[in-house]
Amino acid sequence: MVGQKPADALMVGSSCATHKTDLHLSADQAERVADLFKTLGHPVRAQIVMMLSRGGGDVCVCDIERHFDVSQPTISHHLKKLRDAGVVYGVQHGLWVHYSLVPGVLETLRQFLNGLD
């Protein structure tokens, strides 16, 4: 939880003219949303997610590696970040591991974005 004031500190007055600032998003929810955004906030990870989506899942790590000009451990590191955030999962098939998107996990972000503008 980062720098969040208690709820009863919201909506107090000020001398300037704008007060339309209630959040409608708890600090916990903000934390989860931000964590997902951060996870997608690297070009390699954004593209991995897109590959898994486009490929319909079950994409081999060896095929992921081919698309990028970074080392194998770096790809493995990005996959771990995606796994830890609950965005993807991997299944072992013999020597290979096939990755897929966790279904519905990006719904949180869609809802956040659709609530905006």
Q: Which residues are CB-contacts of 116 (< 8 A; sequence separation ≥ 6)?
A: none
Using CB under 7 A as the binding rule, the residues of this chain from 12 to 51 that contact DNA are 15-16, 38, 41-42, 44
**Quick check: 73 binds a second copy (CB under 8 A)?**
no
**Quick check: 84 binds a second copy (CB under 8 A)?**
no
Neighbours of 76 (CB within 10 A): 13
DSSP, residue by residue, 5-21: PPGGGTT---SSS----
> Of the two residues 44 and 101, which places its CB atom closer to DNA in the complex?
44
**Quick check: 110 binds a second copy (CB under 8 A)?**
yes
**Quick check: 2 binds DNA (CB under 7 A)?**
yes
